[in-house]
Amino acid sequence: MKTNKIQFQAGMSLNQLLAQYGTEQQCEEVLENSRWPQGFRCPKCSSGEYYHYRRQGSVKIFQCRNCRAQTTLTEGTIFHSTKLPLTIWFQAMYVLSQTKNNVSILELKRLIGISYPAAWRMKRKLYAGHV
């Protein structure tokens, strides 16, 4: 599942975005629910028993209690190996989904406060679903 399954309701206000997806923890929960709607399942053995932890500055890591396989919250998603916080990704998805006109990379860069190359990569991933 490499496509982006997170969708915002049409016409969501900036206020609603910040209330619902304003913190890294909120975004992680949304991503976790979208990856495992019935709760975590080990990608190797399908066990639902796991530990979770995180390294400094990294996303949540899940370790299966049964086979010890590890997976991160963002593995297999367009957010994998990103250095940007999930909140920035959610803001970019919001900007790109709420406007009818094509948002330029420069506008995206300016609106969410990231570098031009980061905005370029982000837009490419969000539109094409490339990992």
Q: Tell me which residues in 49-78 interact with Zn ion (CB under 5 A).
A: 64, 66-67, 69
CB-based contact 60:68 (threshold 8 Å): no
Q: Token pair 């016409």 is at which residue?
A: 11
Q: Which of 99, 85, 109 is nearest to 31 (CA)?
A: 85
Other C-beta atoms closer than 10 Å to the C-beta of 32 total 16
Q: Which of 127, 126, 106 is nearest to 117 (CA)?
A: 106
Minimum CB–partner distance for residue 111 and Zn ion (Å):
41
Binding span for Zn ion by CB under 5 A among 12-20, 35-43, 52-60, 110-118: 35-43
Minimum CB–partner distance for residue 32 and Zn ion (Å):
17
Among 17, 27, 31, 42, binds Zn ion (CB under 5 A): 42
Residues near Zn ion, by CB under 5 A = 42, 44-45, 47, 64, 66-67, 69
